[in-house]
Amino acid sequence: MHELVARIIFGNLPLLGITYQGIEKDEECRTRFSNKDEMKKVIEVAIRHGISCFASSSHDFNELVPTYLEAINEIAEEKATEVQMIPCLGIPLEFKGKKIDDYRRWATYLDYETKSFGDVKERYLNDPILNCRYAWKESLIRAKPYKLKELERELRVNWKKWEDIVFKFSDYDSAWVEPGSESDFLAISRMDLLQELVDRTRELEHKVLLGIHHAGTSIPLIEKEKAKIDGYVTPTNKLGVMMFPTQQDAEIIIEKTRETGKLIIGIKPFAGGGIEPKEALSYVYKKMKANSCMIGVSSVQEAEEDFQIARNILES
């Protein structure tokens, strides 16, 4: 049984210049938060609202991650407060010795879910967050799905790289390590590798949450194998953005999984800015009854507003 998780987790992506609100907003954030002091202003608001758990990407995710981690350390020292991290780490998958192709990976999901759930292609093509990727629609349409039989023979995890990525967070108090959304790919193709990934991460003395974007598909497969994880980090928003294969399927599985005692940590609650904070967070905490939510903010004003709204909902 997991320990009670913080109900509000600081989402890091806006401070890394990823807002899901367009290129201009991304560039604005990337420029502003290249200044560590600007990051610290936002983090300080989170600390003041009682938030002590922070999501983080891997050190090599982009050039702002080291600055973000330094900012957290400095604020924690200045405020004499303890913080925990949840590192979200991409799984270094290789096919025939080369890095897995992300568009072919998504084409494989589409092929798998179409066979299992019916035609979901339009949901993929029109998802507003996926469309923040460069030439998303054209690239997905052109991409050739991997064949599952080939993946059985040729898909590998670069274990040395994975252990190196995890080791870089050894100086932090990590509440959990979160293998990223490649977990979905392993769930539908190589459950043996996913099990091994979980076991190796636990051997490194970390508890594990899995990052999942296909809750309706992946979670039942993972639960059937009884993987030794504490729960899932998964999109949870009223518009169903990034909730695959469909919002209804994802909602049903999220609720069933939470009832078993597994943690559900909602991400992308605002659906890339498409939902007002009160409405968004009421859905996550009240309707879906998620244990926690990662809330990303791109300014001091947003931080003050969103964290206060979250606190009000949780206290009501």
How many residues in total does the chain contain?
Answer: 316
Going from N- to C-terminal start, the domains of the chain cover: 8-94+159-315
What number is the average pLDDT over the span 142-146?
A: 98
Query: pLDDT confidence of 1, banded at 50, 70, 90?
Result: very low
Query: Residue 86 corresponds to which tokens in the numbers above?
Result: 């949840």
Q: Residue 4: what pLDDT?
A: 53
In the chain, what percentage of residues exceed pLDDT 70? 99
Q: What is the pLDDT of residues 78-93, one digit of tens each?
A: 999 999 999 999 999 9
Query: pLDDT confidence of 159, banded at 50, 70, 90?
Result: very high
Contact status, residue 250 vs residue 234, Cβ threshold 8 Å: yes
Task: Reply yes or no on domain 8-94+159-315 having CATH 3.40.630.30.
Answer: no
Q: What is the pLDDT of residues 41-89, one digit of tens each?
A: 999 999 999 999 999 999 999 999 999 999 999 999 999 999 999 999 9
Q: Residue 3: what pLDDT?
A: 47
The distance of Cα 250 from the centroid of its chain, to the nearest Å, equals 15
Residues 6+ apart with CB under 8 A from 241: 127, 128, 129, 235, 268, 271, 272, 274
Q: What is the pLDDT of residues 95-122, one digit of tens each?
A: 999 999 999 999 999 999 999 999 999 9
